[in-house]
Amino acid sequence: MSTLLTRRSRHAGVALAAVLAFFGAADVQSAQPTALNPLPDAEVRARADTLLAKMTPEEKAGQITQYFNFGDPKEAKRVQDEVAAGRAGSLLFVHDPVELDRLQHIAVEKTRLKIPLLFAFDVIHGLRTIMPVPIAVAASWDPKVAEDGQTVAAAEARAAGLHWTFAPMVDIARDPRWGRIIEGAGEDPYLGSAMAVAQVRGFQGAYIGSPGHVISGPKHFAGYGAAFGGRDYDEVDLSDNELWNTYLPPFKAAIDAGAGNIMSAYMGLNGVPATGNHWLLTDVLRTEWGFKGFVVTDAGAAHDLLTHGLAGSEADAGVRALQAGVDMEMSPPFGTSAFKTLPLSLKEGRITTIEIDNAVRRVLEAKIRMGLFEKPYVDLKQAQRVLTDPQHREVSRAAAERTAVLLRNEGDLLPLDLNKLKSIAVIGPLADSARDTLGPWVFAFDLNETVTVLAGIKAKAGSNVRVDYSPGVSLPVRLNPSIFDTLPAAAATRMQVDDASELPRAVALAQASDVTVLVLGEAQIMIGENASRSSLDLPGRQQELLDAVIATGKPVVVLLMSARPLDLKNSKPGALMVIWYPGTQGGAAVANLLFGEVSPGGKLPYTWPRNIGQIPLPYAHLGSHQPKTTEQRYWNEPNSPLYPFGFGIGYSTFEFSNLKVDRQTLVLGESVPVSVEVRNTGSRVADEVAQLYIHQRFGSSARPVRELKGFQRVTLKPGETRTVQFTLTPAELSYWTAAKRAWVQDETTFDVYVGNSSQAALTTTLEVSKVRR
């Protein structure tokens, strides 16, 4: 029935070395310069080894220690002293070019071995120019948006003096209560892998050390998105089936794309904390996947092996992290470093020189590849030029336009026609909040460059249309504070109002206007790290505001500034569009969408449940023995999603036809082209995303009812037809089965579906057999 791709399984039946070749991975042993590796491995290694030979155990331990520097004067002094003594390899969180340059001068000029610092930062969706948040970029279903955005982010970061970003986050998220859903690409491993690859390319360029680029560190390895109950930092218990088929593929894709770093996760994976997990960090990452870069822990995660109850002492934590496969400790802010105990552990024989040298070498190699020994300092003039490049804001605006997802548009309320409107009421606590428009995980922005939705609408509406504004209601504060609260960059710019008087004023404005644009959602501090929620309701009194504005009977457009599906309690505004946290030019992009200069073309990267009680509700679930009653799993309401994965409408309509699988029968190991015709049947230029799903009918394991295996976003004129081509390769037709604890491609029959969401109706079949029929 099935072909076992490989049986060379050593660890928990994992056999990816052979699969590497199968999936066409680069030859990781190559010592020759290649596009991905312009400095020959041997030369880089020899240079690192020359340095290594001169280092004391304390200098080695320092080289693989990374310190936070938030600017707290006492901590900054401690960190600077460590740098000056040659006991720090890397710093994070410094992002001011002048300060970066100053610290680098200390490292290069004052230390014995003159080894430059590697400066890292969370450049997640932009440094100065802020792009839409990562989940938004995934909603574009356009990897070019991801690559272009991160190319700009990398250019700004590198010009500022940074060398490495802790991004992309490639954790799959199937529980929207988990706040970090905003940082990834949503629930699907195929979309997630495509976005991971595009971001790594954008950050790193053609090779590590490409001018204007930085090292990319996909995170958090691995399984972090599956935290119990969507509670950030809680443990994760994942079956091997889930790990291999759903959670690991985006990491594998990012590594194959050349990512130079990986961050180990905080949490316990199946009882073994990820940062002390040898199976994960060595057996899978290095032995099976051939990863050659360096592994950094998440903040304090080596030390936390003690907190988790894995290690018995801080020294034991350092030993366990190193021996599991960690190369650098991100030392806990204001805390002690587990890796600083390594010299003692070396002396006492708990680790070997080879073990510590392997880690130090990988860090030195990264510095050599980045060219830091030749060019350690910041060109401050160039930094200023790059950081304020107006072209970057254009990239951000274009990205935001491609990320919006239109979910409802009754009676073609959108686009709004400025020739017919005399007045617009813009209402909502997020409508004029510059800080919230940018989203979380940004620290170096300039609010003066940020266009809110209100500002964008006003600029577009001109002087002939009256635009009134009311926040309507205030947003509540979090019951439990955020870890970001104390950072100045998190300060809200929202107007605080008294709901009792402002809500009726807002409703009166809606009543007196031709149309109302309501901007609702979650403040940026309510989503992201340490921002899980037990509810998907609109925070505060926003639902009351929404209901009251709809009750006026006037046309209402709701724009959701959010990054998880929210429960609008069956409210039915005329139009509903998710604008995410759209970034620096968010308001300008939203205005272009509202007034029809561009048509929304984004699609949901996650399933939108009717009710929080349905979570998790991935579209790619197994059929079960009762497929016919899937919709009736609960006695009180349908189990179908409110909006399916992949769903989104625009200002035109499209028809899919003529789905063709090039050959209906395939031999194992062969690829097959698939094509479909997409026709714009409406009257506007608009985008559609052709999505290809497969379902394997039988085989070694039961397989999900649908799995995304191809997508393409196209722009079509009214009446235009385009033939979209996909290729199904053995990689798409294979999976990891717990039955054999290995990757397989089965002899089987597939249903192939193509259309504009995970509920695509157009279908055909494909047979795969051992011999040609």
Q: Where does this chain bind ligand BGC (CB under 6 A)?
A: 92, 122, 166, 219, 298-299, 529
State yes or no: is 298 an active-site residue. yes
Residue 504 has φ and ψ, to the nearest 5°, of -65, -30
Amino acid at 341: T
For tokens 């009750």, name the residue.
551
R_g over Cα of the chain: 26
Question: What's the closest the beta carbon of residue 227 comes to ligand BGC, in angstroms?
Answer: 12
Question: What's the closest the beta carbon of residue 265 comes to ligand BGC, in angstroms?
Answer: 8
Among residues 639, 656, 713, 190, the alpha carbon closest in space to that of 405 is found at: 713
Instruction: Give the C-alpha distances (Å, rounded to integers) separating 265 from 129, 239, 310, 727.
Output: 28, 17, 15, 34
Report the alpha-carbon distance of residue 264 to residue 465 in Å, rounded: 53
Report the alpha-carbon distance of residue 84 to residue 271 in Å, rounded: 40
- The residue among 104 and 261 lying less far from ligand BGC, judged by its C-beta, is 261
Question: What's the closest the beta carbon of residue 530 comes to ligand BGC, in angstroms?
Answer: 8
For tokens 């279903």, name the residue.
141
- The residue among 529 and 747 lying less far from ligand BGC, judged by its C-beta, is 529
Give the number of other Cβ atoms within 10 Å of residue 354's Cβ. 7
- The residue among 36 and 487 lying less far from ligand BGC, judged by its C-beta, is 487
Question: What's the closest the beta carbon of residue 166 comes to ligand BGC, in angstroms?
Answer: 3
Among residues 183, 179, 125, the alpha carbon closest in space to that of 523 is found at: 179
Instruction: Give the C-alpha distances (Å, rounded to integers) separating 231 from 127, 181, 307, 454.
Output: 28, 11, 18, 34
Extended strands (E) in 373-429:
405-409, 423-427
Among residues 384, 456, 396, 389, the alpha carbon closest in space to that of 125 is found at: 396
Amino acid at 302: A
Contact 740, 701 (CB under 8 A): no
- The residue among 447 and 483 lying less far from ligand BGC, judged by its C-beta, is 483
Question: What's the closest the beta carbon of residue 528 comes to ligand BGC, in angstroms?
Answer: 10
Which of 148, 188, 298, 436 is the catalytic position?
Answer: 298
Question: What's the closest the beta carbon of residue 228 comes to ligand BGC, in angstroms?
Answer: 17
- Residue closest to ligand BGC, measured at CB: 166
Report the alpha-carbon distance of residue 402 to residue 379 in Å, rounded: 34
- What is the chain's percent helix, strand, coil content, to nearest 5? 35, 20, 45
Question: What's the closest the beta carbon of residue 225 comes to ligand BGC, in angstroms?
Answer: 12
Contact 51, 77 (CB under 8 A): no
- Angle formed by the axes of helices 314-324 and 353-369, nearest 10°: 60
- The residue among 184 and 682 lying less far from ligand BGC, judged by its C-beta, is 184
Question: What's the closest the beta carbon of residue 90 comes to ligand BGC, in angstroms?
Answer: 12
* CA 686 from centroid of its chain's CA atoms: 26
Contact 20, 13 (CB under 8 A): no
- The residue among 168 and 471 lying less far from ligand BGC, judged by its C-beta, is 168
- How does DSSP classify residue 495? P
- The residue among 219 and 458 lying less far from ligand BGC, judged by its C-beta, is 219
- The residue among 167 and 668 lying less far from ligand BGC, judged by its C-beta, is 167
The residues annotated with a catalytic role in the active site are 298
